[in-house]
Amino acid sequence: MPHYDYTKDLHAAWEKAVRQYREGRRGSATFFSAEETKFLDSIGLTAQDVYDFAEDFVNGGEPDFATFAVIHDIRRAYFLETQKGRRSPGRIEPASLPAKDAQARGIRWLPRIIPKARAKLRGELHPDIMYACGGDRAFLREHDIHPAEFLRVIWQHEGNDEAVLDWVEQRSRRAHAGAGKT
């Protein structure tokens, strides 16, 4: 797999998925050729990863390609550096996620997004779970956190949820303090 210009192939996969979704094609299993699937696999992604982001982009205008690319660059780095190019055998199931109204330190959604982000980083998302879905984006927007930034924080504090909670609390305080200023 070429590394220098892998983003060209990633962009091509994104464009293809967006085009096919707009044309009415559904189901990630039908979106990519064997060669394209091999490329995605080589950087730790699946067809479902691309499909989910293309679907949300077509239906709601976000996340855009730049957001998709930086999120998946972090996933790629984790896959190549930490996982040494080997997929995790684990998988997070939808029923195992905390409720959407669960709170940590009074912050709604935080208990839910942490395991989703961790699973995204490790390539362990069930096909019915998307990191940076509409609910995640609403949470991240409210607390002024970019989805890729949150993924990086999860990696940086891997295994230390308290450090993640501290970081989110700090960011949230700054975001809410600045919200009233004009």
pLDDT digits (tens, 9 = 90+) for 88-132: 999 999 999 999 999 999 999 999 999 999 999 999 999 999 999
Count the helices and strands in the chain (H runs, E runs).
8, 2
What is the amino acid identity at position 88? S
Name the one residue in this structure whose structure tokens are 């912050």: 107
Exposure on the CB side of residue 96, measured as CA atoms within 13 A: 13
Tokens (6 digits) for 22: 């707009």
Tokens (6 digits) for 38: 């091999």
pLDDT at residue 182 is higher than 50 = no
Query: Domain limits of the chain?
Result: 1-87, 88-182
Confirm whether pTM is higher than 0.85: yes
pLDDT in tens, 126-169: 999 999 999 999 999 999 999 999 999 999 999 999 999 999 99
Q: Are 128 and 84 in contact (CB under 8 A)?
A: no
